Structure 1
Amino acid sequence: MSLYIVPLMIGPWQWVIIGLGILLLFGGKKIPELMKGLGSGIKEFKNASKDESKEIEEKE
């Protein structure tokens, strides 16, 4: 039996199902808290990457 690897192609209905699953798992009140945490994490990552690039430029 050969394995067939299908590329990850998610259509609009799959996104709807994923969204409903997340809503059912976490509930409506937790989702804004999760998104706020995710946003602050991304912001912190961007700031750290900017700081690292500045340090690299200063060394050169």
Structure 2
Amino acid sequence: MDTSILEIRHALEKCVEEKLTGNLHGAGTNLETGETDFSFDFDGVNYSVHIKELKTALIGELG
């Protein structure tokens, strides 16, 4: 599993709790695929975030 995906999930969860004051409902990581997700509610709306993979690009390629 790519630990950077898990690190990103933790950073996003922290942002939801501290900056948005949203409520986390749950989180999970699939150890076979390395995918991770979490859900939260903010301002009466439920959100689900699923991180499947990370891609990198050179700045020039973003064009």
Query: TM-score over 0.5 for the alignment?
Result: no
Larger radius of gyration: 1
TM-score by length of 2: 0.30
**Larger helix share, 1 or 2:** 1
**Larger strand share, 1 or 2:** 2
Looking at both structures, which has the greater relative contact order when contacts are Cα pairs under 8 Å and sequence separation is at least 6? 2
TM-score by length of 1: 0.31
